[in-house]
């Protein structure tokens, strides 16, 4: 996978829109910080609710082909991940694109993301 060293001024998250993925939490947080842009890639039963939570700085693209997802992962300032999962492949995919990950510090993310010391 080819990495992009020139990052753009947006964050990205990508997931199936189901409650345990906590996309609503990410969208709410970014909607309250309008100086930060968020791009959301994915679809699912929570789509309507997520769209209703989104502020003007949040762009919801819905389901996208793999090429579009990879392009966003390469260019994003960071990938945001709030789910507690056993593994979480999207975290590893973002890092493979050379993109830092901001993750909820529980579950599999602890095994694939090196945290910053507090």
pLDDT digits (tens, 9 = 90+) for 86-106: 777 888 899 899 999 998 876
- In tens, the pLDDT along 19-66 reads 999 999 999 999 999 999 999 999 999 999 999 999 999 999 999 999
Which residues are within 8 A (CB) of 82 and not within 5 positions of it... i.e. 6 or more apart?
13, 21, 22, 23, 25, 26, 103, 104
How many residues belong to the chain?
Answer: 118
Helix (H) or strand (E) holding 103: strand 101-103
Tell me the backbone φ, ψ of residue 66, rounded to 5 degrees. -55, -40
Residue 78's nearest CA partner among 3, 21, 9 is 9
pLDDT band at 84 (very low <50, low <70, confident <90, very high): confident
Contact between 79 and 101 under an 8 Å Cβ cutoff? The reply is yes
Q: What is the set of domains in the chain, with CATH numbers?
A: 7-84 (3.40.50.2000)
């Amino acid at each position: 996978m080819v990495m992009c060293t020139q990052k753009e001024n947006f964050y990205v998250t990508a997931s199936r829109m189901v409650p345990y993925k906590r996309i609503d939490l990410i969208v709410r947080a970014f909607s309250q910080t309008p100086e930060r842009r968020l791009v959301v890639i994915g679809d699912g039963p929570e789509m309507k609710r997520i769209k209703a939570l989104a502020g003007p700085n949040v762009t919801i693209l819905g389901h996208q082909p793999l090429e579009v997802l990879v392009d966003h992962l390469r260019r994003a300032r960071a990938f945001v991940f709030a789910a507690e999962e056993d593994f979480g492949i999207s975290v590893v995919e973002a890092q493979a694109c050379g993109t830092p990950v901001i993750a909820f510090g529980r579950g599999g993310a602890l095994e694939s993301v090196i945290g910053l010391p507090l």
